[in-house]
Amino acid sequence: MRNAFIRSLTELARRDPRIFLLVGDLGYSVVEPFRDEFPERFVNVGVAEQNMTGLAAGLALSGKIVFTYSIANFPTLRCLEQVRNDVCYHRANVKIVAVGGGLAYGALGITHHGTEDVAILRALPGMTVVAPADPMEAALATRAIAAWPGPCYLRLGKAGEPSIHAAPPDFRIGRPIELRQGEDAVILASGPMTRNALLAAEKLSGAGISVGLYSVHTVKPLDEEFIRQLARQVPFLFVVEEHSVIGGLGSAIAEVVAEISGTRPLLKRLALPDSFHPVGSQEFLCSTYLSAEALFTRIHATLSRVAAKELRALA
Amino acid sequence: MRQDGCQELAVRIRSHALQMTHRARSSHVGSCLSIADLLAVLYQRILRVNPNQPEWEERDRFLLSKGHAAAALYAVLAERGFFPSEWLETYCQDGARLAGHITHHGVPGVEVSTGSLGHGLAMGCGMALAAKCDSKAFRVFVLLSDGECDEGSTWEAALFAPHHRLDNLAAIVDYNRIQSFGSVKDVLDLDPLAEKWKAFGWGVREINGHDLEEIEASLRSAPFKPGQPSCVIAHTVKGRGVSFMEHKLAWHYQSPNAKQLQQALAELGEQQ
């Protein structure tokens, strides 16, 4: 995903001289194509994220479109107040890019786990939050946020994520992309775990359960009307994300669903628990919660429980 | 001394700040009085700004990083005609534009909003870098408090500016030696402050921050060395201009009551 991002950004920079890239001394073997082609619009600011973010605001207030880039929590939580005051309050055209959202840095430890970022960033006024599902979405999201006025947060996976889309989808900020149709339940997913959701949906289909799937790449602004319409159509909504169960896409959707009057679908958040995580690879750490198998099991169990209850009620 | 009204402007900034903090019963009058002379010189003699065109692209940028001294900046902007003086009467009032920490939103002439310390210098670096990239001639001035030299982010920016040869950037430190909850010496000693900035690669001058000619001379001669950002350490007095406020921590918080306001304004009258 990070390579798709940098390719997309480099292409954009060829057309738009306002585009700058600031990195916090990270990006080895990733950002070099941009650096080498646009040395005058690339700054490695050093290990100084607060300065990077303030600097980005200052550049943006002078007419630039500024991307900041670092790992997981470094361009977000480390300098959160600069993001809030310098970027958001000034509506500065700054695009914050974090690589390794979720548990992508696995065994490197909890400092490198970005598991609360969406909750925190989406709470900031004026911040747009985008978490693409695969490299193609990452490339399109890069283009979209560059053209989208004001502060944006782009949450990327790391590298080597499999493609979900065979061809470029119609990617628009705020509009979910349909990946599968289904009538029994719908999964709303963000980020690279969308791939596991897709595999789980296919397996559920094999078990006779028809499950739809959307890539809800934009967590904020959330397409609330889409959620309300969907809630009228299906009895079950599952939200899948590589993020704490607190405050992310699942919470954002729950906020909308909870305010629907009348019949509501049952909503389940399939996310990471509210905890720090042990040592292990992304695959290992996600195996309990977000692997295709885990998602299949959790969704299947929920549907079975409800079905059993309904049968009991009929009897 | 030049008779260009700079001295009078400094007195009017002080007078406004006293009345504004009295009316709003708000804090930080001591911090306002401490920078009144710096602001008067900047806005009367140094900054290339146009009140009729506050967004003019070639303007010099002034960033008040010590955003708590907002009243003084609003005062000088009103005096220079960026907005009507009547606005000053709405300072900190419900529904008004002028917040107790400097706020750009809807206020012509204010470049950036600050209030949390340690934010201004990085934003100033961004603007100075943009000017360099675009070969623009404008300069960027950032006014910091001594207390905010405690912030690590100030020093992140202080490392950045010399490395990138931002000689179009000047930091001014209002060194009144009283920070929020005690004297700088007792809380977190900054001395030798000039040596610290020098060691980071800045051209440094120490001045009397209440001597208009010294302030002007230092700011006019920036950059002190080509290729180097400039730091002016302005030795100032917190509460300067009002006898009973000078050097007093209490006036970081207290606002003058009616009687104190009257006495303070009378003292200022004698300085006219």
My answer on whether A11 and A128 are in the same domain is: yes
Give contacts of A 54-113 with B, CB under 8 A: 54-64, 66, 81-82, 85-86, 89-90
User: Is the predicted pLDDT of residue B235 greater than 80, yes or no?
Assistant: yes
The per-residue pLDDT for B271 is 79
Closest B-chain CA to A88 = B113
- Minimum distance, in Å, between the CA of residue A211 and any CA atom of chain B: 48
The candidate with the shortest Cα–Cα distance to A243, out of A122, A141, A86, A114, is A114
Where residue A192 falls among pLDDT bands split at 50, 70, 90?
A: very high
Q: Give the tens place of pLDDT for each residue, A1-23.
A: 999 999 999 999 999 999 999 99
Contacts of residue B105 in chain A, CB cutoff 8 Å?
89
pLDDT at A213 (0 to 100):
98
Q: Is residue A225 in a domain?
A: yes
pLDDT at A139 (0 to 100): 98
Q: Residue B209's pLDDT band (boundaries 50, 70, 90)? A: very high
| Contact in structure between B92 and B100 (CB atoms under 8 Å) | yes
Q: Is the pLDDT of residue A311 over 90?
A: no
Shared domain check, A231 and A140? no
Give B103→chain A minimum CA distance, Å. 10
- The stretch A253-265 carries a mean pLDDT of 94
Its CATH architecture, for the domain B6-271, is 3-Layer(aba) Sandwich (3.40)
HSE-CB at B126 with a 13 A cutoff on CA atoms is 34
Q: Residue B272 pLDDT more than 80?
A: no
Rounded distance, CA A187 to CA A181, Å? 10
Could A54 and B119 be called an inter-chain contact, meaning their C-beta atoms sit closer than 8 Å?
yes
Does one domain contain both A149 and A254?
A: no
Which tokens hold the place of A50? 């607060």
Residues A34 and A139 in one domain: yes
**Band of residue B2 on the pLDDT scale cut at 50, 70, 90:** confident
Q: Which residues form the domain of A233? A: 177-314
**B248 CB neighbour count, 10 Å cutoff:** 14
Contact between B160 and A64 using a beta-carbon 8 Å cutoff:
no
- Pair (A181, A227) in one structural domain: yes
Residue tagged 């004297």 (tokens):
B183
Q: Is A297's pLDDT higher than 90?
A: yes
Domain coordinates in residue numbering, chain B: 6-271
Cβ proximity of B96 and B106 under 8 Å: no
Q: Residues of B near A (CB-CB distance < 8 A)?
A: 104-105, 111-116, 118-119, 121-131, 133-134, 152-153, 156-157, 159-160, 164
Give the tokens for residue A53.
Answer: 């973010």
Render pLDDT for B156-188 as a digit per residue (tens, 0 to 9): 999 999 999 999 999 999 999 999 999 999 999
Does a structural domain hold residue A293?
yes
Burial class of residue B102 in the structure, from the number of CB atoms within 10 Å of its CB (0-12 exposed, 13-18 middle, 19+ buried): buried
pLDDT in tens, A121-168: 999 999 999 999 999 999 999 999 999 999 999 999 998 999 999 999
Question: Are A7 and A128 in the same domain?
Answer: yes
Contact A255, A228 (CB under 8 A): no
Which residues of B fall within a CB distance of 8 Å from A89?
A: 105, 113
Please give the residue of chain B at the shortest CA–CA distance from A61.
B127
- What is the secondary structure of B195-256 as a DSSP string? HHHHHHT-EEEEEETT-HHHHHHHHHH-SSSTTS-EEEEEE--TTTTSTTTTT-GGGGT---
Query: Considering CB atoms only, which of B105, B115, B122 is closest to A50?
Result: B122
- pLDDT of A27 > 90? The answer is yes
Q: What pLDDT shows up at residue B31? A: 98
CATH of the domain at A49: 3.40.50.970
Residue B23, CA distances (Å) to A154, A196, B26, B35, B90 in order: 45, 62, 8, 20, 9
User: Binning pLDDT at 50, 70 and 90, where does residue B270 land?
Assistant: confident
The answer to the question of residue A166 being in a domain is: no
Asked whether A95 and A125 are in contact (CB, 8 A), the reply is: no
Pairwise CA distance, residues B270 & B272, whole Å: 6
- Least Cα separation, residue B212 to chain A (angstroms): 29
With beta carbons less than 8 A apart as the criterion, state whether B3 and B208 touch.
Answer: no
Three-class HEC string of chain A:
CHHHHHHHHHHHHHHCCCEEEEECCCCCCCCHHHHHHCHHHEEECCCCHHHHHHHHHHHHCCCCEEEEEEECCCCCCCCHHHHHHHHHHCCCCEEEEEECEECCCHHHCHHHCECCHHHHHHCCCCCEEECCCCHHHHHHHHHHHHHCCCCEEEECCCCCCCCCCCCCCCCECCECEEEECCCCEEEEECCCCHHHHHHHHHHHHHCCCCEEEEECCEEECCCHHHHHHHHHHCCEEEEEEEEECCCCHHHHHHHHHHCCCCCCCEEEEEEECCCCCCCCCHHHHHCCCCCHHHHHHHHHHHHHHHHHHHHHHHC
Domains in chain A, number? 2
CA distances from residue A242 to A178, A278, A285, A301 in whole angstroms, order as listed = 19, 15, 10, 20
Asked if A132 and A225 sit in the same domain, the reply is no
Residue A281: inside a domain, yes or no?
yes
Interface residue A226 vs chain B (CB under 8 A) = no
d(CA A277, CA A285): 7
End-to-end CA distance of chain B: 13
Domain boundary among A95, A122, A155: A155
CATH code of residue A290: 3.40.50.920
What is the pLDDT averaged over residues B192-199? 98
Residues A218 and A251 in one domain: yes
Q: What is the percentage of chain A residues whose pLDDT exceeds 70?
A: 100
CA nearest to A88, candidates A58, A125, A142, A53: A125
- Averaged pLDDT of chain B: 97
Residue A165 belongs to some domain of the structure: no
Over residues B44-103, the pLDDT tens digits come to 999 999 999 999 999 999 999 999 999 999 999 999 999 999 999 999 999 999 999 999
CA B198 vs CA B174, B194, B202, B228: distances in Å:
17, 6, 5, 10
The pLDDT score that the predictor gives to residue A151 is 98
In a domain, A137, yes or no: yes
Judge whether A151 and A88 are in contact, CB under 8 Å.
yes
- Are both A145 and A275 inside the same structural domain? no
B180 is written with which tokens? 């929020």
Among chain B residues, the shortest Cα distance to A81 is held by B116
Shortest CB distance from A57 goes to which of B121, B123, B156?
B123
The whole-number average pLDDT for the span A47-76 is 98
Of A40, A58, A81, the CB nearest to B127: A58
pLDDT at A308: 82
Question: Does residue A265 surpass a pLDDT of 90?
Answer: yes
Nearest to A103 by CA among A256, A295, A284, A234: A284
If you ran DSSP here, which 8-state letter would residue B83 be given?
S
User: Is the Cβ pair B122, A86 closer than 8 Å?
Assistant: yes
Q: pLDDT at residue B1 above 90? A: no
Query: A237 - beta bridge partners?
Result: A186, A267
What's the confidence (pLDDT) of residue A49? 98
**d(Cα A170, Cα A175) in Å, to the nearest integer?**
9
Same domain, A6 and A144: yes
Same domain, A60 and A181: no
Report the C-alpha dihedral over residues A284, A285, A291, A293, rounded to 10 degrees: 70
Same domain (yes/no): A182, A289: yes
| A263 — pLDDT class (breaks 50, 70, 90) | confident
| pLDDT for A15 | 98
A65: in domain: yes
Average pLDDT across chain A, whole number: 96
Nearest residue to B44 via CA among B238, B195, B216, B161: B216
Residue A162 located in a structural domain: no
Q: How far apart are CA A41 and CA A260, in angstroms?
A: 47
pTM attached to this predicted model: 0.97
**Min distance A48 CA to chain B CA atoms (Å):** 6
pLDDT band with cut points at 50, 70 and 90 for residue A314: confident
Cβ-based contacts of B130 with chain A (< 8 Å): 58-59, 62-64
